[in-house]
Structure 1
Amino acid sequence: MNFNWSTADMTQSQQKIAEYVERHYQTVLLYTEQELADTLDLSIASISRFWRFVGYKNMKDFKKKTTQQMTPTPAKKIETILSQTETANGIAKNFHTVINHLEFTAEQFSEERLNEVSIMINQSHKVYIYAQGSSIGLQELLYFRLARYGLSLHKMVNNGSELLEDMVHIQSNDVVILFAFGRKALVEEEVIFSQAKAIGYKVIAVTDQLVSAITNQADITLFGSRGEPWEFHSMVAPTLIVEMLVIAVSSYDKKSKLEQLEKLQTLRKQYKDILPR
C-alpha cells in the first residue's frame, strides 16, 4: 500500500515512523499506540503528532481508512498455499519472501515516474552510473543494457577522494543514476548530491528506502524492496526495476533504438565465425 505522504517537512522521528508504517502497515493495524512507540523507541506523543501530520485524526482513524482500502493480495494467496504443505520451509520460504519484495515494490511502482526517468536519461548529455558493494552488479547490468542504444555512459567505480576523478567531468546537462541502498547515506552519495545542487545535474536514485535523505534529495527515486536491515538482502526486485528502466529507455525514440539493435545484429552475423556467441 502506498500512502503518498510528503516527507519533505517531516522530522527525523516522523520519517522513522513513516518508513516503519509503509513497510509494516498490516502489523501496525494490530498495534496500540504504546506498542508502536515501544517498537520504535519513541514517545506516544511523537506517534500522536505523526498521525495528525499525515492527515489522520488519530491512530484509530488511520486503521479505519487503511482497512477500507485493503484487498486480498497474490502474496497472501501463495502464503496460504505454502502453509498447507510440508515444504513451506527453506527454499519455499525464501521464494515467498522474494514474492513479498516484488509485491511491495509493485505497490510503490509508478509508470509515470519511470517514463520521467526515461526522458531524463534520453535527453541528457551523458549518463553517469554510481554504485557500491552488491549493487555493482546492477550497475554492470544497466550499463550493458543501455550501451547498445548508443547513449553516452560512464561507470563511476571510484570511492573516497578518487570519486572526484569522476565528478570533475559531470556537467549541468548530465544525469547521475545512483544505486543507494541502506538507510545511512554514504559520504560519496553526499558529495554527489552536494555537487548536483551546485552544478545543476539531475540525480536518479534507485533505492530500498521509502523515507530517507536520499529520497528527499534525488530528483526522482525508483524503489526496489530488499527486505529489512536484519534480513538477507535480495536483489531480485531492484533487478526488476533496472530491467523496467531499460525497457522504458528503449521505448523513447524507438526508431533510433531499433536501428542500433539492427546494427548490432548485423555485426553479429558478420563475425559469427570469429566471435561465436
Structure 2
Amino acid sequence: MTSGKPVPADAAFVQSELGKVLAGVRADGSASHRAIAAYLIRNPVRGTALKIEEMAEGCQVSTATISRFARDIGFANYGAMRSALAETLHSAMQPVEKLRSTIRRGKAALSAADSSMDYARANLGATQEALSQRDLDVMAARIARARSVYVLGLGGSSCLAAMMTLHLQPFCQQVVEVAGAGGTEAAARRMAQIGREDVLVVFSFPRYAADGTRLARYARSRKAAVVAITDTADAPVVALADHVLYASAAHGVLASSAVAAVALIEALTASLMVSNKANVRKAARLTEALTEYTVRLEG
C-alpha cells in the first residue's frame, strides 16, 4: 500500500501476513481447509471470539479438523491461532481507529472514492498473493484445446463474461457467451450442445446467481470441464468446478469489487497466449484485421 491513507480493516486484514497465509490455503488447500480459511477471511472478528466447537460448527467441519488446520498453518493449537488472529486484527484496525479519531476531530474524512481505491489495491494484492502460475497454465491449456469454450456470467458478473469472451475469441476454436438476450432460458439453449470436449468458464461473485450454479451443474452432467472464477471457497459454484481461480472482491459499498477478477481475466488470457507459438500468428492476424478500424495516433 503506497497511498499513505487508511485502509478498510477487512482489506488490511487480507493484506496481513496471516491474511496472506489464509488466502493461500483458500486457493490451494484441501476442501475442509479451504472452508476454514474462507470463513476466517470473511469473519476475522468473529473468529477471535469463537470456541473451537463454535468454529467447527460455523465451518461445518470437526474440531479435530480445526486443530489440524491451526497446526498446518504454523500454530501450536487453536488457541494460539485465535490469539494471532486477534493480534493481526488489532494491527489492521489501527488505521481505521486513527481515521475515526480524525473524523471526530473534524479535520478530514476518507472519501468513498478513496476508500474504493484502497479496496481495489487490497483485493489485487490478496489475489496475486494467492495466485498460482501452475494453476493458470493448467487452465489455459485446458481452454486452448477445448472444442468450444462457453463463458457464463449472470447479473453483475455478465460484464466479466463479456470481457473474457472478447479476449478468448482470437485464440480458441469457438467461444460462446452464454448469457445475453433471452435470459436464462436462452442461455440454456446456447449450452444445449456442450459436452466432454468443451469447457465452461463461469463467473460467480456476490450476489451469487442461482441460475449460474444450475447451468454449471448441467455442464458438469454433460462431462464438460468447469472452470470457476469466484471470490471464496464457499461460493456455490466451487463444488461443481474442476478448476477454481479466486479473486478477492471485498468492497465497502458495492456488493462486490470486479477489479481483481478483471486482472485474473487478463492473467489467464496472457498465459494462454504465450502457451503456443501459433498464437503469435493469430495475434498478428487479429492486429491486421483491426488496423482499418482503429485510430492511429501521430507520434
Shorter-chain TM-score bucket reads 0.7 to 0.9
| Structure 2 residue 194 is matched with structure 1 residue 170 | yes
Classify the secondary structure of the residue corresponding to 2:245. strand
1:262 to 284, 288, 296: 284
Asked if the contact 2:144/2:171 (under 8 Å) is kept, the reply is: no
Matches for 1:65-84 after TM superposition, within 5 Å: none
The equivalent of 1:32 in structure 2 is 49
1:213 alignment counterpart:
236
Query: Residues of 2 paired with 1:214 and 1:276: CA distance?
Result: 39
Instruction: Indicate yes or no: 2:76 matched with 1:54.
Output: no
Partner Cα distance (2:251, 2:289) in 1: 45
Cα–Cα, structure 1 residues 191 and 137, in superposed 2: closer, same or farther, change >3 Å? closer
Deviations 1:156-205 (A, max 9, x none): 02543333312211121100000111375613422422441x32110000
Aligned residue in 2 for 1:73: none
Is structure 2 residue 117 aligned with structure 1 residue 95?
yes
Distance 1:218 1:150 in 2: 21
User: What count of residue pairs does the alignment treat as equivalent?
Assistant: 255
* Amino acid in the other structure paired with 1:225: S
AA at the equivalent of 1:101: N
Unaligned runs of 5+ in 1: 71-75
In structure 2, relative to structure 1, the CA distance for the partners of 1:47 and 1:103 (3 Å cut) is farther
Indicate how the Cα distance of structure 1 residues 63 and 55 shifts in structure 2: closer, same or farther if over 3 A, else same.
Answer: closer
For 2:165 and 2:227, locate their aligned partners in 1 and report how far apart those are by CA, in whole Å: 15
1:106 to 123, 128, 131: 128
Aligned residues of 1:48 and 1:59 also touching (Cα < 8 A): no
Map 1:134-153; keep pairs closer than 5 Å. Answer: 134-153=156-175
Partner of 2:224: 201
Question: 1:128 is paired with a residue of what secondary structure?
Answer: strand
Identity %: 16
CA distance in 1, matches of 2:261, 2:80: 33
AA of the residue aligned to 2:154: Q
Map of 2:257 onto structure 1? 234
Distance change (3 Å), C-alpha of 1:64 and 1:186 = same
Q: TM-score, normalised by structure 1?
A: 0.75
Q: Which residue of 1 aligns with 2:11?
A: none
> Considering only aligned residues, what root-mean-square deviation do their CA atoms show, in Å?
3.8
- Is the partner of 1:154 in helix, strand or coil? strand
Corresponding letter in the other structure for 1:22 = I
Q: In structure 1, what is the Cα distance between the partners aligned to 2:230 and 2:209? A: 11
Quote the residue 1:119 is aligned against: 141
Q: Does 1:160 align with 2:184?
A: yes
Asked whether the 8 Å contact 1:205–1:221 carries over to 2, the reply is yes
The C-alpha deviation readout for 1:199-235, integer Å capped at 9, x for no partner, is 2110000101233432232011111111169744221
The one of 34, 38, 55 aligned to 1:19: 38
Letter in 2 for 1:240: A
Q: Confirm or deny: 8 A CA contact 2:32 2:61 kept in the other structure.
A: no
CA distance in 1: counterparts of 2:53 and 2:113, whole angstroms: 32
For the structure 1 residues 34 and 19, does the alpha-carbon distance in structure 2 shift closer, same or farther, using more than 3 Å as the test? same
Q: Distance in 2 between matches of 1:185 and 1:177?
A: 15
The CA deviation at 1:241 is 0.6
The yes-or-no answer on 1:243 pairing with 2:266 is yes
- Residue of structure 2 equivalent to 1:130: 152
* 8 Å contact from structure 1 (residues 182, 209) kept in 2: no
